Each structure stands twice: as C-alpha cells, then as structure tokens.
Amino acid sequence: MSVTNKFDMDVTVTEHNHRNAYPIGHDNQHMNSTNKGFFIKTWVIFILLFIAITCIAGIAVFVGLFNPFQSCVCDNSTSLLSKCMNNQTNADNRCLSSLSRDCITDQTKVASLYASTNRQSVRLPKSIVPTHYEVQLQTYIGPQDFYFDGNVTIWLECRQSTDNITVHINDIVIYNESVYLLDDRKQQLPYISHFSHETKRQFFIIHLNTYLKHGKQYILQIKFKGNLNDDLSGFYRSSYKDSAGNKRWLAVTQFQPTDARRAFPCFDEPSMKATFAITLIHLHNYISISNMPKVNTEIRGEWVADTFAATVKMSTYLLAFLVSDFQSISHENGNFRVWSRVNAIETANYSLKVGPKLLKYYEDYFNISYPLPKMDMVAVPDLNAGAMENWGLIIYRETAMLYDETVSSSHNLQRVATVVAHELAHQWFGNLVTPKWWDDLWLNEGFASFMEYEGVDAVYPKWQMFQQFVVDEIQDVFELDCLTTSHPISVPVHNPDEINEIFDRISYGKGASIIRMMAYFLNRDTFRKGVSNYLNAWRYDNAVQDDLWNYLTLAVNNSLNVKKVMDSWTLQDGYPVVTLTRDYDNRKAWLTQKRFLLDVNNNQNNGSIDPSKYWWEIPITYTNQRNANWDPITKLWMTRSSAKHSKVFAIKDEDIPKNDEWIIANLQEVGYYRVNYDKTNWELITKQLMSDHNKIHVINRAQLIDDALDLSRAHLLDYHIGLNITQYLVNEKEFIAWESALNAFSFMDRMLRRSAAYGLWKAYILKIISNLYKEITWTVTEDSENILEKYLQISVIGWSCKYGYPHCTQQSMQLFNQWREYVENKQFKNPIHPNLRSIVYCTAIENGSEEDWNFLWNQFLNVSVASEKDKLLRSLACSREPWLLSRFMWRAFNGSSGIRKQDASYVFRSVATSNYGRDIAYNYLRDQWHHIVKYFGKSFFSFGSLVKSVTSSLNTDFDLKQLQEFYNSVKDNVGTAQRSFLQAIEQTKANVHWMQSHYQQIDNWLIKHNT
C-alpha cells in the first residue's frame, strides 16, 4: 500500500514540503453496530478498548517512570518475561522490545519469549487451511440501499484433526441455516453441531459433533449478507458527480490489512494463501473487474453475472473488486488498462504511459515475468490509502494516478510516477512473496518504497531520484526516529489496531533507508541477484525477513553475515550518530557511535533511556579533501566483535589528510546514521563550502546541513557552527541542498514564529535566498526532464512569498486578480501555472479579503480535478481571519459541506501548520475531539497526524502543561493516536528545552549576521 502522500500536499508557502505532511494512510474501520446476526456490538468494543487503553497507558507510565527493563540483560530475561506476561498485548510488545534490544544477540530466545506471551492468540488455528474459494457477490448499489448478498464455497484441507472450523468475519451477517459442510465429492456431511461468534477476535466458529480427519479434503458453503459501507474499508461505496451534475455510485474494495473478512467469510491471514474464483453480479448499467480477466458473462434478467478466471495462489488481503460505470483505456499490447470516471479518463493517459514501462523494468530487475495475464489500474474518488497494490487490480486515489498537464504540477507528475512504481514493485515483493505475518510489514513497504525510486530512476534518469531519496526518506524519518518514543522497525503485532498502527513512516521511510544502505554495502548488483533468488525460491509462498537475509548472505558468498548486520537496524529503535575525532598532532582519527536522541540531556535527566546500551553494525564510508572520491564504498565496519576491547575504531593512517584538510564520512548519505566531527574539522568543511562548495558532492552538502543543524538542535554541536554552515547557501544553486536546508529551517521557523527574534530570522533567510530569487523567473519551462530545477523554482518562490518578499507578494496578488477577472468574464483558463498555484493562492488568501476566500471556496466546489482540489483546500487554510479558519474547520468535519471524509484530516493539518491557524486548529481539536473520533471511527489511521501537526510548534512550559492536560482528558478515547500523543509530549519537552538553551544564542547570532 502507499500512504497518501508525500507530494499531494504540494509545496506551498505555508509549510514548505512534505516533511510537514503526514501520511493519511489507510484507515477507518468503523464497526457498525446492530443487533442482528453477527455484527460486532459497539458497547463490547468500547469496553474492550477501554480496558486495553487503560492498560497501555498504565504500562507506558510504568515504563516511562521506573523503566525496570533498562538494565535487562539476556541472563535474567526469563524473569523479566514474567513481568511482561502479566501485561496486556500492547504492553507485551513494549516490554519485549526492550528485552530484544538488550538481548539482541539471542534472537531465538526472544522469539520464543514473544510466542509464549501471546496468551490469547488472535490468529486462526492452523488445523484447517483453505485451498480454493468460489465467491459470488450480488451488489445493490443505491440509491437507497447499499448492500450485497454473498455465497462462498471454500475447499479445505485438514492438516490436524479438529472438531471446529474457524473463519474470520466482520460486519457481515451469516445465515446459519445456509452453512453446509460437504466431503470432497460434494456429499453433505451431518457434522455441524452449532455456531458461535467471537466478536473481539472476529471469529465465526462452526462447531462439529465429530473430528475432521487429518489429510482429508472438505468443502464449506456459507450464505451471507454485508453492507456496502461508507467507511472506505472492506467492500465499500463511493460516489462522484458526472458532467451533468448527477451523483453516480460505485462499489470498490480495500482489504489490507484485515478487511477481506468484511466482504466474505475467509481465512483472513496473509499466510493462508489459496486460489479464488470470483463472480460479481450487478445491474446492466455497471461493469465489473477483479484481479483476473473476465472469462464469462451471463445475463440473468436485469442482472449481469461476470465470472473471472481463478487467481493464482494468493493472500486474501490482495483480492479486489470494482463495480462501477467507469471507462478504461488500454495500452497497445491490450493487457494493461487504466480506469477512471468517464469525465476524468483523459487524465489517466500518463499512468498508462508510465505503468507498462515500469512493469517491464521490474520484470528485468527481478528476472521474473509478471505472473498474471493482465493489469488494471483504477482511480477511485474515495480511498483512504494513497493506493493499494491488489494483485492485477491496483486501486489509487485520484491524485495518485490521474495527471492533467493543464492543471497538475510537477510534484503531481512525480507523485503519480512514484506511486505507480511503488504499487507495481509490490506485484513481486509482497504479492508473489508475502510476509508470513504483519510483523514483517516493514520489509514489504520498505522494499516497495525503495524500489519506487529505482523504478522511476530507470524511466527518468534526470529526475535524480536518489538525490531526492536522501531528503524525502532518510532525513525525513530521522526526525521521527530520534525520539525515545519511536519504535523498532520490526515489531510484534497481534490485533487489527496494532497492525494498522505500523503503516507509518518508520515502516516505509526507515525501511527504505536501511534497504538502500544494504544495497550499497552488498553492492547493488549483488543485492539485486540476492533479491531475485529469494523471490524465485519463495514464489506463491510466505517468508520472513530472515529468509531474505539468508539469500543475501548467499549472494555475497557468506563473506558477510547479513542477518547480524540487519538485526541491529531492525530490532532496535533509533539510529546512531558516529563521531569522528581527529588527533591533529599525531595525525590520527577515531570513530565512536552512540544513539542519536533529539534531546539527550533531557532524557538522561529523567533516565528513560541509556543511549550507550545501543549498538549498530555500521558500514563506514569516508573521503578527504586531498583525494576526494564520493563513491560510497565501505572502508570499515563498526562491528561488535571487533569492538571487544574497545568501542573506538581507528581510521587508516593513509586515509588521514593534512591538518588543514577536511574528512567527510557517510558518502552520499547511504548510511542510516548522522556524523559529527571535532570543531576543527567542522571549520575546515565550512571553509570549503564558503570557498568552493562544488568540491563536495551535492548529496553530502545536503547531509552536512541536515546533520549540522540537527546535531546543534540535539545539543551535540555549537549552534554557531551549525548556523555558520548555512551562510554558504548564498551561492548554492542545487535543489537538494536547498531542500535539506529549508526543511531544517521549517523547524527554526516553528520555534521562532512567536518570538521576538522572528523578524531577524526572516531577514536572514531572505538575505541568503534573494540572490536565487532574482535569478529565477516566474516563467515555468514546459519540459518534464529537469524536474529538480522546477522544484527549486517552487521552493525559492514559495519561501520568498512566505516571508513577505515584496516582489513575490505583488506578483502573486497580480496573478490572482487576473484569474479572478478571467472567471468573472466567463473565461475559464487559469493564467497561473500549476506549479505556482499553491503559492499564488496562499499568498493571495493571506493578504486578501473575505471575497477572495469565498471565490477560492467556490472554485474548490466547482473543480473536478482532485489535485487542483487539494491545492485549493491547502490554500484556503492561509487566511489571517480567525472566523474564516473556524468556519473552514467546521466544514472539514461536516460531510455535507463538499469536503470528502478522506480530505478532512488534510484540511486540519493545513490549518494547523499555516502561519495563522495553529491555535484555531488546536482549539478545535481539543473542543471537538470526541466528534472527530466519531466522524472517522476509532481505528482511523490519521489521528496521530492531527495531533502531530498541531503540536509541532509548541515550545513553552504552559504549552506543555496544556498538552498533558488535553491528553489526560481524552486518553480513554484516543484511537490510534496513543503513540503520537506520547511523541508530541516528548517533542514539546524537547522544544521547551531548546528554547531555554538555544534561543538567546540564536538571537545573538542573527543580530551579528544581519548587520
């Protein structure tokens, strides 16, 4: 799956880029409450959630205050285990994570400890496994009723004698009298005794009066009925307006991770693979598609029954259906089609152009043909994820697949290419070979997130995808993974809420980052071979991360223990800072490592974590001024064995330059770590940047800025050194270095925005950026090749307008007024280039009137292109008028206003991070928390992002106190935002500490450098 969006937030003047965007993710599994049949009852859920949350909160406090696990070592882990076992599931994870961290060398033991704590497993028994399903669904798609009648026949194999058959269901009604058990010759067996339903585990259990025999085949038949819900999960309904303004309905699926069970009774676990034959029955005015090609169409009166070829062996979460009146266009080879609503189909051309190229690239890369006979990609109006990689039927939200060159920006273009690349990579990694359980989700998502860059890089070499990777993935996730409330990438998960919670930046961004690091230390070709062998060996099957490590170890002829290296990155949270210290008198240099924490002093004071307990196996790359070579070839390993007597590693004498020459480590930032240096080396680097920055690789320039400013932020480097480095930017013309700087400046902006130093801060930024602003024009070139130049143009204009550079504001107002005139004169061509629209709209709204706001709102209501709608929504948040922002917020959480439910959190975050909206958004969140939770449903993935966006600039003791009070008042009803609240509190503490320790110093520096 692809989370919603790195790019559809676009680059705007309010918050510069996606670093301040939060994944919306897939989400939203409301549980319908009803008294009939086997629906889950709301009160049961509330009680269970209440118990769970109370326990988690209790344990969190316990762990936070007393941290009994800090001193855990392998020898006494068994006794600590018993402590862990006395807690609830979530607490077990936390507890066991700390065990695994310290006992990292003994993973077998830890694994069995995990297994033994899972007291009431939510996993299905393994005694019965499905081999084939026939699923028939008759869909009733409005306008009043939304439901489906279903019929499933499941071929079963008995692996172990048992007296029950347990399947998953959720939110569907089973007709008990329609449940039959047959033998393999389809003779009915009189074995069924009674049925039971466990709502918490979503189990439907068929109890038998005899034991099924090991090795025998059986057939189970069930009739049922389900809702076409509006929760955007399971089999759900969506709608759009056609060109004549009529509302059209459709039905579509989103099953990952645990919602196939909302469409039909099934063994809904990724390792319970089977083949599926699907029949969809619908009225004449619809067409249907599924994972496989249609093989038969039968007319049944006013109904049409479409039957699809049986699938290959696959997991339930990858099934998909669509019943709609959509249109398609086909690639010339006929096997690749794209679909959308009729009035948007033209904008699907781009994805049809890029999709087949990427598919071909992956066939070559993995050295395995695409396993299915066809590929359909569909853009639907409502989807909680950015896109979903269903095998042979990929479903996207419109902004992730449709591209209209007259309306969409360069960011929109790249977003479509990367999301398509991401989902197509999953067709092998994830679909052909699937993780055994959701614990290994990170591997699936991390790998697809890495491959999206490989794929797009192959199609568009000039886009410099791996330059972008460094800023958009590594540096982005560094910011989250430096908190003590982060989590290891590989975490045990059990119930659906826990599974939903791990579709986060750690799984995607950190996953991709450590895979890229691995691809380099193995060498990219060896890496590719190992992956290809792994996919071949495990195809149509399920694997765990150790299986991949085995194949990669084989690919390097056992010259490296890949598991040992990678376990240190996947089983521990956080990442290291490597410190390089030079002894200039004796011409030596040493490396040490330590966990990088955002606010190390603060954390040591409350004793919650000891960074010295962590150890990573780090591939070190470096170069020096004399023989600068930026190829990231591993020069030495910081490994545990070689550190037996010392944790200090020496750089080879011949690699140490003269005293007045610099050393730089972590070339092209391929390693997932930061680097700090002694003061003299930092000064040598700064000198180089000031005199001729092109002597340093552009990715390392981006790295140096990011590292220097974040090391300063974390009290590991004098802020004067960090800020001094930024002065060279006056001469910098490369996007990626600027992007890295502007991201770091976003933090400073958030901290200083309400302080006396803000004027000086703005003046300094305008001073270093104005050279470039004067050089670049407002004219956007039309080629799509030099995308980084376009991004630079957007960033520079965006920040100049944000900080009120007069020419920028005037230009925006002029363009905006011209557009208003056009519209008033019924000329509907928008004179503003799509790349600059977010900036122009936002600047105009910030400096404009109520009429301007209403004009833009009406544009939002009338436009049908989703990416343009996003830009308009984002810009409406730029107003200075509190009442306009309040009204906007109210409209976001009111389904009839015209803002779709999938976009409500986007609006919230836009207001929360705008120049004037934070307090309004924060008040709304506190005041309306229960309404918001109700509006989305409790397991909505995005609560965390709401909390994060609105709290990221809190930095006073008073703010901290208020935040804690807010958390205490809602903590029984936080849904999936539990971790985000704890992270927000930690972040705020760090911000308060930052203001106390750095504000004066920065103010002094700014005074000095603005004169």
Footprint of Zn ion (CB under 5 A): 1, 445, 448
160 in Cβ contact with 214 (< 8 Å): yes
Residues 6+ apart with CB under 8 A from 303: 138, 281, 282, 283, 284
DSSP state for residue 473 in the 8-state scheme? I
**Cβ closest to Zn ion, residue 1 vs residue 401:** 1
Buried b (16+ CB within 10 A) or exposed e, 563-581: bbbbbbbbbbbbbbbbbbe
Minimum distance from CB of 448 to Zn ion (Å)? 4
- Min dist CB 888 to Zn ion, Å, is 32
Whether the bond between 461 and the residue before it is cis, its omega within 30 degrees of 0, is no
**Nearer CB in complex with Zn ion: 389/749:** 389
Task: Pick between residue 378 and residue 815 the one whose CB is nearest to Zn ion.
Answer: 378
In the complex, what is the shortest distance from the CB of residue 506 to Zn ion, in angstroms, rounded to a whole number? 14
In the complex, least distance from residue 514 CB atom to Zn ion, rounded to whole angstroms: 16
Q: CA-to-CA distance for 17 and 564, rounded, in angstroms?
A: 36
Provide, rounded to whole angstroms, the least separation between the CB of residue 388 and Zn ion: 8
HSE (side-chain half, CA atoms, 13 Å) at 295: 11
Residue with tokens 């019929």: 151
Q: Is 374 helix (H, G, I), strand (E, B) or coil?
A: coil
Residue 257 CA to its chain's centroid (Å): 14
Contacts 24+ apart (CB under 8 A), 934-937: 935/893, 935/895, 935/901, 935/904, 936/27, 936/28, 936/901, 936/904, 936/905, 936/975, 937/27, 937/28, 937/29, 937/30, 937/31, 937/231
> What would the DSSP string read from start to end of 474-509?
IIHHHHHHTSTT---SS----SHHHHHHTSSHIIII
Q: How far apart (Å, rounded) are the C-alpha atoms in residues 887 and 505? A: 31
965 among known catalytic residues: no
Q: Are 785 and 462 in contact (CB under 8 A)?
A: yes
State the nearest-atom distance from the C-beta of 575 to Zn ion, in Å: 22
- Scored b (16 or more CB within 10 A) or e, 182-203 reads beeeeeeeebbeeeeeebebbb
Q: Smallest Cα–Cα separation from 475: which of 762, 765, 737?
A: 737
Closest CA to 778 of 755, 733, 802, 808: 808
Residues with Cβ < 8 Å from 480, sequence gap 6 or more?
486, 505, 506, 509, 983
Find the shortest distance in angstroms from Cβ 512 to Zn ion. 10
Output the smallest distance, CB 419 to Zn ion, in A: 9
Shortest distance, CB of residue 164 to Zn ion, whole angstroms?
Answer: 35
Q: Measured from the CB of residue 430, what is the shortest distance to Zn ion in angstroms? A: 7
Closest CB 386 distance from Zn ion, rounded Å: 9
Strands 172-174 and 217-227: antiparallel
Are β-strands 321-324 and 247-254 bridged in parallel, bridged antiparallel, or unpaired?
antiparallel
What 3-state class would DSSP assign to 351?
A: helix
CA distance 238 to 70: 49
In angstroms, the Cα distances linking 634 to 305, 520, 522, 525, 671 are 59, 8, 9, 15, 10
> Which residue's CB is nearer to Zn ion, number 234 or number 511?
511
Report whether 651 contacts 636 (CB < 8 A): yes
Measured CA to CA, the distance from residue 159 to residue 128 in angstroms comes to 6
Catalytic residue among 423, 454, 789, 846: 423
Residue 861 one-letter amino acid: L
Contact (Cβ atoms closer than 8 angstroms) between residue 297 and residue 384: no
Q: How many other β-carbons are positioned within 10 Å of the β-carbon of residue 399?
A: 28
Closest CB to Zn ion among residues 1, 489: 1
The CA dihedral of 924, 485, 713, 566, to the nearest 10 degrees, is: -130
Alpha carbons within 13 A on the beta-carbon side of 732: 29
Closer residue to Zn ion, CB minimum distance, 269 or 389: 389
Report, as residue numbers or ranges, the catalytic residues.
Answer: 423
